[in-house]
Amino acid sequence: MYADAETIRRILTATGDTWAVVGLSNNEERAAYGVADVLLRYGKRIVPVHPKAETVHGEKGYASLSDIPFPVDVVDVFVNSGLAGAVADEAVGIGAKAVWFQLGVIDEEAYARTRAAGLDMVMDRCPAIEIPRLG
């Protein structure tokens, strides 16, 4: 319901290649680290967004989406569901084209707001699982 095949394909192939990964740090044991690596292998530019603003996978990090000084196409959200809605609202505010809530990240009200603002959105899915399926 929150991840139809057409929207998934559009975000992964046509929306743009600059992905802000919210919650990405240098902790290699966190899912965000591995997913960012997969996105890089598929030609995406990743932008780490984390309060520590660490450089991850060679990319400069930022403390928040609004700190990124260039356009972002997709915001990939690795924060818990209680914080995800505010991230989606910030994604709308910076002019992102799409929002992707990771597996287990669910906020139906944020989904409705983000779609109403005209952005594509996927919720409770992982791009690292979906992108190889595009074949």
> Could you read off the pLDDT of 79-134 as tens digits, one per residue?
999 999 999 999 999 999 999 999 999 999 999 999 999 999 999 999 999 999 98
pTM (two decimals): 0.96
Structure tokens at 129: 């699982």
Phi, psi of 12 (to 5 degrees): -80, -25
CB neighbourhood size of 96 (10 A): 26
> Could you read off the pLDDT of 35-94 as tens digits, one per residue?
999 999 999 999 999 999 999 999 999 999 999 999 999 999 999 999 999 999 999 999
User: From CA 12, how far away is CA 4, in angstroms rounded?
Assistant: 12
Q: Is the dihedral of CA 32, 53, 123, 99 positive or negative?
A: negative
To the nearest 10°, report the CA torsion of 62, 89, 39, 4.
Answer: 180
Q: List beta partners, residue 76.
A: 21, 100
The pLDDT value given to residue 38 = 96
